[in-house]
Structure 1
């Protein structure tokens, strides 16, 4: 399957990306096609899961859970290590699929596949670390004479629902960590990237993952809702919009959830910052993947004394970005996921301009390709400030007081990551303490992530942390063994010595 998907991408043919259920590729549901946002033609095809296929996938996952749980951690880790090497070996072909299905520049796609390889390697390392602890029960009188241990057992059946913007790496996180923990996993991929999703699943299977360990289904929200509500599912990891996340939580009921739900991230540029460096980083990370990242630079607050010089540097850096064919190796900004997403950038920048802001550059689109847009000085209640653009648009606003700008950043409903450019450690510690975000990036923008470091937010950005170690904790349950009247600690309560 992997070879056929990669060959289709190489030949510019339609990639056939069927579901994988009960150990077999293929499905009988309604056809689901993906039109590439840059090529404007069908680039991949799959089938939408039927109710019968969902039921069969759930039954197979439940039946296979015990088999997968019985695999030694070393065996699971070896498979993940092989998958890491395979991702590197196929990086160009996988990046090409991402470019065709999503309009993501090959340059960004190669970076995503490199992260897939890293993520699988980290998952392998974490699989080898799973263990438990000896509890200090004899430290309290009622525990004297007893011994207690714990270990982390697989939760059973996990559900991974992945988004379109980083379908390969986010699937690697969810499926890789779930398998490392000893679970079987149901994967509901994004309708916009069936081939890229199927390719990652196929890569794992060809690296030795047992077929009982994964079921892949395609479709929209109706398929996701059926899976979320299923009694067979023990834990759900979802990445997507806040609105859809709330629907997932409602459908899931009393299940364990890890939700990463987006943001409208802020970056602060203080008066002591290197303006050129800050401007270059904001340009590079504000428009990578056309701004379609939950931590993409959306709001940049610059000290008033440096505001205009920063805008000049920023506009110059954005002007150097190459916009166009995502398959060209030098392209920086490709297409957005569809025309509606690109139109959102155009519409919101026009609304900000009508409210008094200045559109420094961009504000236009060609099909699904939105020109990199800078909006200077928009009102705080305009959508480009108060809502998640998830597109090729960055708003730049002046500020006068550091404490006040921290409060302004916190007015957002979201709280995923923030960036800060300063050399003042007192400001760094103040911002780390006061900002209502899951992480603060100092010397960089909000759009920076290491896949082995905890990642997640607060408020409407969700809860839980998506990194292999953290996810393994979510994907496992603590089981305790208590031995009555059998102690490794000693059970004497009196030395017998006289006064």
Structure 2
């Protein structure tokens, strides 16, 4: 252990149900206040392999456990988390600077996610196949089973450090798998907290192992180790593509980038949608995989929408994430703030106009609305992951759909319209994993299938759908 390490703030690894020291520790600072929160264990290759070994050795324990018992453990975890909800929300806000109002919302969703996982644990089944439909099938019956895949390697992001862990851990346990979890470097405390919750919930030792430290070291070991049967990753496209290239025949579920778009048709009451547009663009500082980044408004409503949207954005409270009325706080790092300010500077050199924000106040980026932005600007064509939204004028839904599709991403898109034909056209022609009609693309409930096309990734999350990824189908045929 480091000589200068403060033992009271040291957070060890969790391997095989026990706290394990690492050779080195790194300080974790609040993105908002810069105060040190904790010292985080840095796992090396040997410790990562130790965690994989623990998961591998416990895979039969969880795999052979009856479904009702797996469900009970998940229900227990949801109950314990309900009792410790405010503590959990405070951890999220401290490590990620997510405003406490949104952290509480995340904890509520995490509880629901584990409840959904408990329910799905009891619904894992195959189907019977009519073998006599083929002439060679007479006298035979067949059915499929879904069996646990084994050990799941889970790599999670910082933006929903508790609920996106739940979207990997919940279905893995429900399906009877063991897990090695590598949380984001800035938000490890949420994952360590959840591991404690599961220990109290009765999860056998070794089923959930949490290893913190550098992604380049831990991620490489997880992807290459043959005992890991599936990698589920949420993060950047570049890292996801790297995982895919190294994984070989290992199964992968990859939730990658996005620059989600919203279309506003000409027949919409603008006052009724402003609050949703503000939430979609600016909740959690825009650090949401399906944050509303591009808005295409029909020219008849463009002036009204932009003026009301900008006025609403300017009312949002900036500041301390633990203050009850804070809506926008710090981005996850100073580096991210510098990047977003650089992107804003790029827009200032173009014909684009900034209607709101465009500056940082006490290290917090003000909610920023940019209009008349060229499609080639970074704020439009790349994933901004900040409280920045681009609003452009269109003359039809068809043109808007073409602009939405002119992207290397395709996670979710939304359309506000009262025209059924326009809604059907958008739902058929938008090149995305999910189309949200009469709401922002930022809409998600945790049981729905969630995932994208193009560089937004492969596979689907959402408990039932994640369990399909985390199980193998086996066919059984009886010759009578």
TM-score by structure 1 length?
0.93
1:357 corresponds to 2:352: yes
Query: Match of 2:279, SS?
Result: helix
Secondary structure class of the residue paired with 2:162: helix
Cα distance in 2, alignment partners of residues 186 and 470 from structure 1: 20
1:127 equivalent in structure 2? 121
Instruction: Please name the residue that 1:268 is paired with.
Output: 263
1:253 aligns with 2:267: no
Counterpart for residue 494 of structure 1: none
* 3-state secondary structure, aligned to 1:287: helix
Equivalence for 1:492:
none
1:345 deviation in Å?
2.3
Residue number in structure 1 paired with 2:50: 56
| 2:4 alignment partner in structure 1 | none
Question: Partner residue of 1:198?
Answer: 192
Q: Secondary structure at the match of 2:228?
A: coil
2:134 is equivalent to residue 140 of structure 1: yes
Contact 2:313 2:367 in 1 (8 A): yes
Which stretch of the first structure deviates more once superposed, 433-442 or 343-352? Answer: 343-352
What CA distance in whole angstroms lies between the structure 2 residues aligned with 1:344 and 1:398? 27
Q: Distance in 2 between matches of 1:14 and 1:300?
A: 48
Structure index of larger Rg = 1
The CA distance in 1 between the partners of 2:127 and 2:243, in whole Å, is 34
How far residue 45 of structure 1 moved from its aligned partner, in angstroms, is: 2.1
TM-score normalized by structure 2? 0.96
Query: Cα distance, 1:368 vs. partner?
Result: 4.2
* Structure 1 gaps, min length 5: 1-12, 487-499
1:321 aligns with 2:350: no
Say which of 279, 282, 291 aligns to 2:277: 282
Change (3 A) 1:125 1:177: same
Deviates more, 1:97-106 or 1:17-26: 17-26
8 Å CA contact 1:344, 1:389 repeated in 2? no
* Offset, 1:276: 1.7
Is contact 1:154-1:181 (8 Å) kept? yes
Match status 1:417 vs 2:415: no
1:207 has 2:211 as partner: no
Contact 1:155 1:234 in 2 (8 A): yes
Mapped pair 1:384 → 2:379: yes
Q: Runs (4+) of structure 1 moved beyond 6 Å? A: none
| 1:61-460 correspondence to structure 2 within 5 Å | 61-221=55-215, 222-366=217-361, 368-460=363-455
Find the aligned partners of 1:115 and 1:134 in 2 and give their Cα distance.
Answer: 35
Which deviates further from its counterpart, 264-273 or 199-208? 199-208
- Structure 2 Cα separation of the partners of residues 344 and 422 of structure 1: 35
Distance 1:285 1:15, change over 3 A: farther
Find the aligned partners of 2:168 and 2:27 in 1 and give their Cα distance. Answer: 25
DSSP-derived class of the 1:34 partner: strand
* CA deviation map 1:130-172 (0-9, x unaligned): 1222221122121111121221100011111100001100100
Q: Distance in 1 between matches of 2:326 and 2:361?
A: 16
1:76-128 deviations in whole A, cap 9, x for unaligned? 00110111112221111111111111110010000000010000000000000
- Per the alignment, residue 41 of structure 1 pairs with 35
SS class of match (1:132): coil
Secondary structure, counterpart of 1:159 in structure 2? strand
- Alpha-carbon separation, structure 1, partners of 2:75 and 2:433: 29
Q: Is the contact made by 2:17 and 2:199 (CA closer than 8 Å) also made in structure 1?
A: no
Cα distance between partner residues in 1 of 2:82 and 2:32: 26
Q: CA deviation at 1:414?
A: 0.2
User: What does residue 3 of structure 2 align with?
Assistant: none
Q: Is the 8 A contact 2:145 2:475 kept in 1?
A: yes
Post-superposition offset of 1:251? 2.3
Instruction: Check if 1:467 corresponds to 2:462.
Output: yes
Q: How many residues align?
A: 473
- What's the offset of the Cα at 1:22? 2.2
Q: Residues 323 and 332 of structure 1 are in contact (CA less than 8 Å); yes or no, is this contact kept in structure 2?
A: yes
Question: Which consecutive unaligned segments of at least 5 residues does structure 2 have?
Answer: 1-6
Q: How far apart are residue 310 of structure 1 and its match?
A: 0.6
Deviations 1:33-81 (A, max 9, x none): 2111111111122211122111211212111111110100100001101
Q: Please give the alpha-carbon distance, in whole angstroms, between the structure 1 residues aligned to 2:426 and 2:181.
A: 38
Q: For the residues of structure 2 that align with 1:163 and 1:287, how far apart are their CA atoms? A: 18
Q: CA deviation at 1:367?
A: 5.4
Task: Please give the alpha-carbon distance, in whole angstroms, between the structure 1 residues aligned to 2:469 and 2:199.
Answer: 23
Q: Is the 8 A contact 1:99 1:327 kept in 2?
A: yes
Kept in 1, the 8 Å contact 2:263–2:397? The answer is no
Please give the alpha-carbon distance, in whole angstroms, between the structure 2 residues aligned to 1:95 and 1:16.
20
